[in-house]
Amino acid sequence: MKDNRTEIFQTIKRLLKEYEPPLVAKSDFDSRYELYSPKGVIIAGRKKSEVWFAGLIIQSNYVGFYFMPVYTNTELKQVFKKELLSTLKGKSCFHIKTLDANLTKQIKEAIEHGYKLYKKRGWI
């Protein structure tokens, strides 16, 4: 089990980097990573030049995993397992303090579901 924030950050970052391309990293640093879709879309009647997909940031006692697909579609939470849901704080931020193979798998599956959702909506 990983409890080192840098190791947790790097593990989740590797999962997200599998989606580059078509997604693009706007920030790619040792303690912050942001992944966007560069596709221009209209969401709720507003033109967007890009759509935020996910972000990671190392905080003082956890790694923040900001996952926008769950923000744009709260029903996505229904596919999350209890271990991942227990780390959700607010609408779209997961506070990851420890990471084992099971939680890593759940995060990987969540990313896959989120990617499929964005693809279905034409945001990628």
Report how far residue 32's alpha carbon sits from residue 18's, in angstroms, rounded to the nearest whole number: 17
Q: What are phi and psi of 37, to 5 degrees?
A: -95, 125
- The answer to whether residue 121 sits within a structural domain is no
- The answer to whether residue 12 sits within a structural domain is yes
Q: Which of 60, 55, 122, 54 is nearest to 97 (CA)?
A: 60
Q: Report the pLDDT value the prediction gives residue 3, as an integer from 0 to 100.
A: 61
- The answer to whether residue 90 sits within a structural domain is yes
Walk along the chain (124 residues) and give the pLDDT tens digit of each residue. 666 999 999 999 999 999 999 999 999 999 999 999 998 888 778 888 889 999 999 999 999 999 999 888 878 788 888 898 899 998 889 999 999 999 999 999 999 999 999 999 989 9
Q: Report the pLDDT value the prediction gives residue 45, as an integer from 0 to 100.
A: 84
Omega within 30 of 0 (cis) for the link into 69: no
- The answer to whether residue 124 sits within a structural domain is no
Enclosing H/E stretch for 15: helix 5-17
CATH number at residue 22: 3.90.1150
- The answer to whether residue 95 sits within a structural domain is yes
- The answer to whether residue 122 sits within a structural domain is no
Q: What residue numbers bound the domain in which 106 lies?
A: 5-116
Q: Report the pLDDT value the prediction gives residue 113, as an integer from 0 to 100.
A: 94
Q: Report the pLDDT value the prediction gives residue 1, as an integer from 0 to 100.
A: 60
Q: Report the pLDDT value the prediction gives residue 2, as an integer from 0 to 100.
A: 60
Total number of domains in the chain: 1
